[in-house]
Amino acid sequence: MKNSNKPAKSKIPSFILELPLIINHSDERILNIRLESARQLYNAVLGEALKRLSLMKESSLWQYARSLPKNNKEQISERSKEFKLCATRFKFTDYDIQSYGTVCKNSCQIGEHLDTHTAQKISTRAFKSVQRYQFKQSGKPRFKSKWKSLNSVESKSNASGIRWRDDHIEWSGLNLRVAFDKKDKHDIQAY
């Protein structure tokens, strides 16, 4: 039986290519500050998402939705509607969690280091981990410690936030050159 909870495969052709960065001490310091800000934002959003999930599960609306039978298609769709209504009422949607992440970013020093699109992707990352926990697809998500922090961040698109330009990465005024391996023809072709 096909698992309907798996995300659909993207229709847009894409690939992941890891390349080492050529950075100086100043760039490294700025990157570390931004990754630490991303970790703090992730933890704040994760805590809020877990709190909202807990409140939602304690509600009578959730209990009613759980009590609905799941035998035929009519009942399944009614049950699904009730769960969606409950999630909307408790603001446990990707959009609401992104909004919370943006408010967090703008209310403290994190806003000085992260752009909005990157903050929204961090919020979505936290929401999806809590959502997998909600659907019992994984265990309870853990907060990122300072010693095992986020080691990668992404933006919503290549048009804003973290951008690939020609032979370097641009991220809010920071230009990071990339080291290409001239012997690896696949890296050069992908570039």
What is the DSSP annotation of 72-134? Answer: SHHHHHHHHHHHHHHHHHTT-SHHHHHHHHHHHHHTSGGGGT--HHHHHHHHHHHHHHHHHHH
Which pLDDT score is estimated for 13?
77
What is this structure's pTM?
0.87
**Residue 124, domain member (yes or no):** yes
In a domain, 3, yes or no: no
Cβ atoms of 70 and 151 closer than 8 Å: no
Could you tell me if residue 14 is inside a domain?
Answer: no
> Helix 116-134 vs helix 94-106: angle between axes, to the nearest 10 degrees?
140
User: Does residue 149 form part of some domain?
Assistant: yes
Residues of the chain with pLDDT under 50: 1-3
Q: Based on the structure, what is the number of domains in the chain?
A: 1
Q: Which domain holds residue 112?
A: 21-184
Whole-number pLDDT of residue 107 = 96
Q: Is residue 1 part of a domain?
A: no
pLDDT of residue 191: 53
Does residue 191 lie in a domain region? no
